[in-house]
Amino acid sequence: MQAVTGAISKEEWTLVAELAPKIAKHAEPPLGEKMRILGWLGTDAGKFRGFDGQVQDAASAMGDAAKRGDGQAVIAAFSKTQQSCLACHQSFRQSFVEQFYGSR
């Protein structure tokens, strides 16, 4: 995300296009870990996945805009990406950290 901010400032759209998939397609946790998280999420799993999907869609749109060299659209999609990060953090981060890392 920091690298994208820098690239946007310099209008380096090729670099934004390279970075976007790294945000959209992040690594998944090992299966055991994933099962523990899904078990903890329970009926909220869909909501959690929805936020992940929003990030994926927004970051992909940012990559497409960057490939077109459309700076305004890159910035709009970057903002949408950040809103989706924040939305998930506001719903889940605190309780997740308490559940899996103890108090922090």
Q: Is residue 55 near ligand HEC by the rule CB under 6 A?
A: yes
Of 89, 90, 98, 99, the residue at the interface with ligand HEC (CB under 6 A) is 89
Q: Is residue 7 near ligand HEC by the rule CB under 6 A?
A: no
Of 45, 68, 97, 98, the residue at the interface with ligand HEC (CB under 6 A) is 97
The distance of closest approach from Cβ of residue 31 to ligand HEC in the complex, given in angstroms and rounded to an integer, is: 17
Contact between 62 and 19 under an 8 Å Cβ cutoff? The reply is no
